[in-house]
Amino acid sequence: MLTIGMLGGMSWESSAHYYKLANELVRDRLGGLHSARCVLWSADFAEIEELQRTGDWAAAGRVLAGAARQVEAAGADFLLLCTNTMHKVADEVQAAIGIPLLHLADATADAVLAAGLGTIGLLGTAFTMEQDFYRDRLTARGLTVLVPDEPGRRDVHRIIYDELVQGIVREESRARYREVIASLAGRGAQGVILGCTEIELLVGPADSPVPVFPTTRLHVEAAVQLATSSSAGR
């Protein structure tokens, strides 16, 4: 079994989900007492969030590139960046290491295309919804990407940072997400990407009239597939 490297802590709520899910999937795939081989580096999210808020992506890239080198040195065979938003610096992270980075948007696009969909809604932080680093990765695969209107984007972003990253789950916030998802479906979205790892704490398939694509699960499923299918001699 290969060792999965994880850059997490952005937030720890989602990183805990990554860790738990990886171990569950390895157990289910291999049986018995098997669990995932992994190396986890966890950030102080307050420091990362300040760099996001001030737009200092170069500094954020340096922090995560340095962390990625530590994860590689600890024995990881490949790397997961356990956050959608920080894939904005994915190229800088990949350039710093000699092991592959399993890109979250690629794993998500694979799942959307496998479902036969062409037009997809995207929920996430304002950075993910409004900037091109993530959307372009999806459109390069032939997908049409829709994002919420400005009030919807504002509420989706606020709920992530003010509630979900702190482990707060409110019914009124779930209702607002349902409204935003329904609006995307009404505009032609055939499915919706839950493009922030914390969103899966709030909504799931039962909250959407169209299929949802939970990026944490998709990312970890791809990682476990890679780790366990490359086990010869490990």
145-168 core/surface letters (b: 16 or more CB in 10 A; e: else): bbbbeeebbebbbebbbebbbeee
Q: Is 82 a catalytic residue?
A: no
**Residue 138 in tokens:** 């999806």
Distances (CA, A) of 215 to 4, 39, 40, 78: 17, 20, 18, 18
Q: Is 196 a catalytic residue?
A: yes
The residue with tokens 């307050």 is 46
Question: Residues 63, 77, 12, CA angle at the centre, nearest 5°?
Answer: 45
Local structure of residue 32 (DSSP, 8 states) = T
* Catalytic-role residue among 82, 125, 196, 215: 196
* Catalytic-role residue among 38, 82, 83, 125: 83
Helix 57-73, helix 45-54: angle, nearest 10: 150
**Residue 184 in tokens:** 């995307």
State the maximum Cα–Cα separation within the chain, in Å, rounded to a whole number: 53
Return the closest-CA partner of residue 120 out of 218, 210, 219, 180: 210
Distance separating alpha carbons of residues 136 and 134, to the nearest angstrom = 5
* Catalytically active residues, by annotation: 83, 196
